[in-house]
Amino acid sequence: MLFNSFAFAAFLPVAFSLYWLLQGRVRAQNGFLLVASYVFYGWWDWRFLILIAFSSLVDYSVGRGLATVTGVWGRRLLLSTSLTANLGLLGFFKYFNFFAESFADLLSSIGIQASWVTLEIILPVGISFYTFQTLSYTLDVYHGKIEATKHPVAFFAYVSFFPQLVAGPIERARNLLPQFLEPRAFSQELAVDGLRQVLWGLFKKMVVADTCGVVVDDIFINYGEYSSVSLFLGGFFFAVQIYGDFSGYSDVAIGTARLFGFRIMRNFAFPYFSRDIAEFWRRWHISLSSWFRDYLYIPLGGSRAGKWRSLRNIVVIFVVSGFWHGANWTFIAWGALNAAYFIPLFLWGGHRSHLDIVARGRWFPTVRETAQMAVTFCVTVLAWIFFRAQSVPEAVDYIRAMLTSSPITPLRVATDAMVFSILMLAWEWIQREKEHGLELSRFPRWARWVLYAGIILIIIEFSSGQREFIYFQF
């Protein structure tokens, strides 16, 4: 079920109403959320429910085992069971064909012709997200950071919680799971703020991202026909598209969770106003970046393992992050390129330079801050070209044409995309010290309602062409 679909528009108010009729009955609310989440997820294909139920059952059982087993080898065996089950499912459904085809290509490159069987595997929606979410539980229980839960319904509801099930944020058990065990009372203030964030997320997705997506698809498919300026704009519009699409999903997820009395973590903090690539990664897909930091980078030794091991750890984190995004060499190249951006900052000790909000308390940034943001945005756009391209050679050709081609074909149908891109970025600059774009406590009520009505009308106007969220395929 898509957030930008009529099905979800009907599902949400029904689920909201029935859920709060059960106020004061935590177990009943959890049971209802579990059923509602399975309906939401099974809307695409009911067979996917088998996988998420299996993953939930394995990790709940592992958690119960870790609560009773004290021997080192027994605990390691239990943790290995969780890792094998979850990463095994993820590896098979997402990466089997990639490894099979890559191995066949490797053999062909040395003169050995291999006929390798590939399978018609349907990638289950959201599998990259909920496997990491449930793994955070077993890893935290194993390391003694949280206690294993005794409530299976609450745990299953935590894994499948429908607002953030499909594309995050990837919640930690230590934050979200306790909220399923506590009484939840309806808060009008929380719900109203949630609705505002949902509205802003839908605007970013349905108006900004989808409008940019039409232009981006045309440019990347026909990049050989376009001028350098048009190709630069193609990279710019994709940067806006993927931000509007993914952060828009996160806004809807966080806002929807608030409607049900839950607070889940922020996933984006206006990343395109970053002054270096390290700040960008502290502000982009925060739940994934922090997941890899806590469960991979720090266990590998982090930045305390000596210079060369630290550099190795940085490369591992970025490459694995790229590979997490998809079974294609383009994502690995994208991750490696971001590592190359990050390493000089790390060596110079500048990766922790910008921890505050840019131009806090001021309308405009300084010349230096403007230049820093412009450079960071440009190198980010360059990396996004690898992310969007179908292959690494195509990305290289696109960049070569972007730098060398002469005007051939003018860019078509880009006015709406440019206008909405500028409006979104300008508005988020104004709101950069807030949690989201429609946190408007300082505005008079009449102005807020005029803005809400305008956004709703624009969304309705641009809602005819429904496009899936980009991160559904990850």
pLDDT digits (tens, 9 = 90+) for 59-74: 999 999 999 988 889 9
Q: Are residues 173 and 67 in the same domain?
A: yes
pLDDT tier for residue 440 given thresholds of 50, 70 and 90: confident
Burial zone of 88 (CB within 10 Å; 0-12 exposed, 13-18 middle, 19+ buried): exposed
Burial zone of 418 (CB within 10 Å; 0-12 exposed, 13-18 middle, 19+ buried): middle
* Residues marked as catalytic: 325
What pLDDT does 177 receive? 94
Instruction: Please determine, for residue 471, whether its predicted confidence score (pLDDT) is greater than 80.
Output: no
Q: Are residues 157 and 78 in the same domain?
A: yes
Distances (CA, A) of 165 to 130, 141, 471: 6, 21, 12
Is residue 335 in some structural domain?
no
Distances (CA, A) of 111 to 102, 104, 107, 393: 14, 11, 6, 22
Instruction: Please determine, for residue 466, whether its predicted confidence score (pLDDT) is greater than 70.
Output: no
Q: Are residues 149 and 162 in the same domain?
A: yes
Q: How many residues comprise the chain?
A: 474
Exposure letters 309-336 (e unless 16+ CB within 10 A, then b): ebbebbbbbbbebbbbbbbbbbbbbbbb
Instruction: Please determine, for residue 392, whether its predicted confidence score (pLDDT) is greater than 70.
Output: yes
Could you give the percent of the chain with pLDDT greater than 70? 91
| DSSP secondary structure code for residue 64 in this structure | H
Q: Decide which of 120, 153, 186 is a domain's last residue.
A: 186
Q: Are residues 97 and 222 in the same domain?
A: no
Instruction: Please determine, for residue 261, whether its predicted confidence score (pLDDT) is greater than 80.
Output: yes
What pLDDT does 2 receive? 83
Q: Are residues 358 and 213 in the same domain?
A: yes
Q: Decide which of 152, 186, 220 is a domain's last residue.
A: 186
Two tokens, residue 200: 């802003």
Instruction: Please determine, for residue 456, whether its predicted confidence score (pLDDT) is greater than 70.
Output: yes
What pLDDT does 343 receive? 93
- Which secondary-structure segment (H or E) carries 91? helix 72-109
Q: Are residues 24 and 61 in the same domain?
A: yes
Is residue 314 in some structural domain?
no
| DSSP secondary structure code for residue 402 in this structure | H
Is residue 144 in some structural domain?
yes
What pLDDT does 305 receive? 72
Q: Are residues 23 and 157 in the same domain?
A: yes
- φ, ψ (nearest 5 deg) of residue 409: -120, 125
Q: Are residues 270 and 219 in the same domain?
A: yes
Number of domains composing the chain: 2
DSSP-derived 3-state class of residue 199: helix
Is residue 120 in some structural domain?
yes
Instruction: Please determine, for residue 212, whether its predicted confidence score (pLDDT) is greater than 60.
Output: yes
Burial zone of 428 (CB within 10 Å; 0-12 exposed, 13-18 middle, 19+ buried): buried
What pLDDT does 469 receive? 76
- Amino acid identity, position 445: R
326-372: pLDDT as tens digits: 878 899 999 999 999 999 999 888 888 888 999 998 999 999 999 99
What pLDDT does 462 receive? 81
Which comes out higher in pLDDT, residue 409 or 299?
299
Q: Are residues 53 and 123 in the same domain?
A: yes
Helices (H), 166-306: 173-181, 188-202, 210-221, 228-259, 277-283, 286-292
| DSSP secondary structure code for residue 44 in this structure | T
Is residue 343 in some structural domain?
no
Q: Are residues 181 and 196 in the same domain?
A: no
Is residue 373 in some structural domain?
yes
What pLDDT does 60 receive? 96
Is residue 391 in some structural domain?
yes
Average pLDDT over residues 295-323: 87
Instruction: Please determine, for residue 314, whether its predicted confidence score (pLDDT) is greater than 70.
Output: yes
Which comes out higher in pLDDT, residue 366 or 94?
366
Q: Decide which of 186, 215, 232 is a domain's last residue.
A: 186
Distances (CA, A) of 147 to 67, 137, 178, 299, 311: 7, 9, 10, 20, 34
Q: What is the mean pLDDT of the chain?
A: 89
Q: Are residues 150 and 137 in the same domain?
A: yes
Q: Are residues 363 and 464 in the same domain?
A: yes
- The domain of 23 spans 6-186
Is residue 163 in some structural domain?
yes
